[in-house]
A and B are shown apart, each in its own frame.
Chain A
């Protein structure tokens, strides 16, 4: 089959246009994927800088460096930038690069709309960041922007925050529609649904989640805007509305959103582990069904974020048990990854290191999630650093490590060069140590009762906080090494063969490295 493919990839000669306009006007899925990935990395550094401010302030007890109000702006912006600017665009970037190559499609189904989806983002984030410089400051109510903090008591810039969320939503919805149309309509002949790589499957389901919940986010910020600017009372009890209504609508979006940030990482890891275990993935079919069940369950558990808000007891019980159900399909996944490794000829190149750490550390995050899901226990944990520990364990070694594993794994295909393996390993170990040092102590401070989103704290938490700050700075600065490794790999390095990983499988490895500008303009035959 590879001979057939190469025949087809050499006979068309449309390279990219020259200069800066290439990136502005491009309709090519690889170019757009690259744009997404670089944008995401820029946001990762920006969000990281905000986190540095937070960790510097928390290095010692007492108000040291920033004003409390500014501190709140930092936590808010950090969350928003990381969620909407770093993690989500990185996965869309990976999808752009990989989905068409994995299913044998010539490009994304709607190439021009694809460009639009991307180019909305820089504008949206420019607008969002500009609020930090406005009178009254930027958003200071947390990334979950609970009313009435985000309505009655919000700074004037909140209107721009709302509109920037609308822009990100438009971008995500169009991106998701594009991915669904591509997967459902552009698969090569013979690429049946149950032959698709899991990365494609997880993205198909993620795209569905995006289309289902981004409009709900748009709805909730619209109601906020109405309350702020047009006198309505959705979230004001004085007019018969309810601030708790805000939380319900927000978390109806918010919980699926956390799965939007993790499902594509499941897909990445499900590609990497078999490759480095040199064994096919264990339980492919169950992986597909587990992903679908997680997606379904994610719609019916949202109020586990609201156990302490004063729900009726039936609500508490229902949301507690429903949430615990998610551990079942998640467990299926972890079981399959471990079973894939079992008795495999394992080697631990950088992608595999990140993927292995993913499995272990994400599981820790899942366990703390289970603890939080126990409603009576959550009365103690809620709004403490234990929650911060939980979600950083699922997001940093989960989403972020998943992205990094994927980047190392496919970088040879994208650039035609091997990255520097030694440096990659250094990057992994420093990240691993840094992030555990930063976030593991948060479990303890949280269990001991340290509240989140607070610039100052009781003396008893001082030691753990200092450790956390050291770890955070280590993790943060290590990412500059990552930048260096990627640039080095783009510029040069050992030539990568079409299939640099012996155990790798999938259509993308049958293309030459670097992958030509246009691939599969005629669909390959998949047997």
Chain B
């Protein structure tokens, strides 16, 4: 029967399933799986370890073993990601997935990206709020300016904010990053990489595998160069400009936005690397390669976020 979806023998029943699907399609419902519980344990160890590391450093606990918990959590998560994805890839390649399953993956990935958009929206919102309201009010503007004026009479409204209200507690940066140097270069790199990944996708659809590999390679080179320059920029900011996390609200918003963006580029680059490896192993076909598409969607998403960053964090 088509509705017997026994996990232990997917390959054997593939043929039957395919025939059955033609008459009345079934949706693949996996039997029990060990991956989610491993994922929960891994996530817990990671969070618990990381949390206790922060607490121990805050309270000055010298005998902390929290980093071991974090390490264990990281290993568990890596094991889980590898195992779970291998499982899914195997199922997909043995033909268990119907076009309906493909639509599930598409919906899933789209809404996941939407959730990421909202995550960044919180930080962009914070940036806009402090620029339009907080800093002017602290500088004494408008009805709400009175208290700022009383507390810090010297404080001047300006953006980028280089002198903070209490500049001894939060020493401001001496200078901010020049947008027309590294950031502009990085913008070009990232936009180009969005183009190259699209070319690779078109090539995959036409089954030109050599071309796919070439363009994917180019994409990765561009992506990793972006990360390299971003790291370069951070070092420059910390060592020469005094632009740090503790440099007041400018540093805070700058690093939270560029930092999370950088983390997402890293994740996207890892996804694309795995896609390249899978292509090298002969995975995917002209009309069945959603994993690849998902990774490229993600890549476009980080690209769009960067454009927002470039405009609102660096240029204006």
- Interface of A with B (CB < 8 Å)? 11-12, 14, 17, 21-22, 24-27, 105-107, 109-113, 115-116, 119-120, 123-124, 126-127, 135, 156-157, 159-160, 162-164, 166-167, 170, 173, 176-178, 180-181, 184-186, 211-216, 218-220, 222-223, 225-226, 228-234, 236-242, 244-245, 248-249, 252, 310, 312-313, 518, 521-522
A211 x B134 contact (CB < 8 A): no
> Would A240 and B170 count as touching, CB distance under 8 A?
yes
Which residues of B have CB within 8 Å of A12? Answer: 1, 3-4
Contact A240 B248 (CB under 8 A): yes
> Is B35 an interface residue, CB under 8 A from the partner?
yes
Q: Which residues of B3-21 have CB atoms within 8 Å of chain A's CB atoms?
A: 3-4, 6
Taking the complex as formed, is B243 at the interface, i.e. its CB lies under 8 A from any CB of chain A?
A: no
- Taking a contact as CB atoms under 8 Å apart, the answer to whether A181 and B108 are in contact is yes
Secondary structure class of chain B's binding surface, majority of residues: helix
Candidates B35, B100, B165; contact of A237 at CB < 8 Å: B165
Q: Would A518 and B122 count as touching, CB distance under 8 A?
A: no
The contact of B27 among A14, A105, A135, A313, by CB within 8 Å, is: A105
Minimum C-beta distance from B66 to chain A (A): 11
Q: Is the CB of B44 within 8 A of A230?
A: no
- How far apart are the CA atoms of A239 and B254 in the complex, in Å? 14
Q: Are A249 and B24 in contact (CB under 8 A)?
A: no
A119-B37, A223-B256, A226-B245 are known contacts; what are 12 more A-B pairs with Cβ within 8 Å? A11-B3, A106-B29, A113-B36, A115-B36, A159-B58, A162-B51, A170-B43, A186-B104, A211-B118, A226-B256, A240-B164, A241-B248
Chain A CB within 10 Å, residue with most, of B40, B104, B250: B40
Contact A159 B51 (CB under 8 A): yes
Task: Tell me the nearest residue of chain B to A216, going by C-beta.
Answer: B122
The reply to whether the CB of B26 lies closer than 8 angstroms to some CB of chain A is yes
Task: Name A24's closest neighbour in chain B (CB-CB).
Answer: B37
Some 17 contacts from A to B, beta carbons below 8 A apart, are: A27-B29, A106-B29, A107-B29, A120-B40, A127-B48, A177-B115, A181-B107, A181-B111, A185-B104, A186-B27, A212-B115, A232-B252, A234-B252, A237-B151, A238-B166, A240-B248, A245-B130
Residues of A with C-beta under 8 A to B84: 112
Q: Is A164 a contact partner of B111 (Cβ separation < 8 A)?
A: no
Residues of A within 8 A of B224 (CB): none
Would you give the 0/1 interface string for B32-51, flagging 1 where the beta carbon is closer than 8 Å to chain A? 11111101110110011011
Q: Which one, B51, B114, B256, contacts A232 given CB within 8 A? A: B256
Question: What is the minimal beta-carbon distance from A208 to any residue of chain B, in angstroms?
Answer: 9
B118 in contact with A213 (CB, 8 Å): yes
Tally of A-B Cβ pairs under 8 angstroms: 243
Given contacts A177-B108, A185-B107, contact A167 B47 (CB under 8 A): yes
Q: With a CB–CB cut-off of 8 A, which chain A residues contact B34?
A: 25
Q: Which single member of B26, B40, B248, B251 contacts A521 (CB below 8 Å)?
A: B26
**Is the CB of B283 closer than 8 A to any CB of chain A?**
no
Inter-subunit contact A27/B55 (CB<8 Å): no
The answer, yes or no, to whether B239 is at the interface (CB within 8 Å) is: no
Interface residues on B, range: 35 or more
> CA of A233 to CA of B112 in the docked complex: distance in angstroms?
29
Contact of A181 among B41, B104, B148, B166 (CB under 8 A): B104
Q: Are the CB atoms of B36 and A116 closer together than 8 Å? A: yes
**Binding-face segment, B138-146, B184-192, B204-212, B266-274:** B138-146
Contacting B245 at CB < 8 Å: which of A27, A230, A242, A313? A230
List chain A residues, Cβ under 8 A from B90.
Answer: none
Determine if A25 and B32 form an interchain contact, defined as CB atoms under 8 angstroms apart: yes
A112 & B103 in contact (Cβ 8 Å cutoff): no
Assembled-state Cα–Cα distance A310/B133 (Å): 12
CB distance from A19 to the nearest CB of B (A): 12
**Docked pose: A473 CA to B289 CA in angstroms:** 59
Q: Which of B37, B51, B133, B143 is the one whose CB lies under 8 Å from A160? A: B51
Whether A223 touches B126, Cβ cut-off 8 Å, given contacts A116-B40, A127-B48, A522-B26, is yes
CA distance A294 to B165 in the complex (A): 41
Mark contacts of B220-256 with chain A using CB atoms, 8 A cut-off: 1 yes-contact digit, 0 otherwise: 0000000000000000000000001110111111011
- Is B54 part of the contact surface with A, judged by Cβ < 8 Å? yes
Interface residues of B in 72-117 (CB under 8 A from A): 84, 100, 103-104, 107-108, 111-112, 114-116
Counting chain B CB atoms within 10 Å of each CB, the highest count among A22, A113, A242 belongs to A242
Interface centre among B100, B107, B142 (most CB of A within 10 A): B107
- B30 contacts chain A at the CB level, 8 A cutoff: yes
Q: Is the CB of A240 within 8 A of B41?
A: no
Task: Please determine whether A123 and B44 come into contact, CB atoms closer than 8 angstroms.
Answer: yes
Q: Does B308 contact A (CB under 8 A)?
A: no
**Alpha-carbon gap, A163 to B73, bound state (A):** 14
Assess whether B71 is interfacial by the CB under 8 Å rule. Answer: no
For residue A22, give the distance in angstroms from its CB to the closest CB of chain B: 8
* Residues on A with beta carbons closer than 8 Å to the beta carbon of B197: none
A225 smallest CB distance to B (angstroms): 8
* Contact in complex: A11, B1 (CB < 8 Å): yes
Q: How far is the CB of A269 from chain B (nearest CB, A)?
A: 27
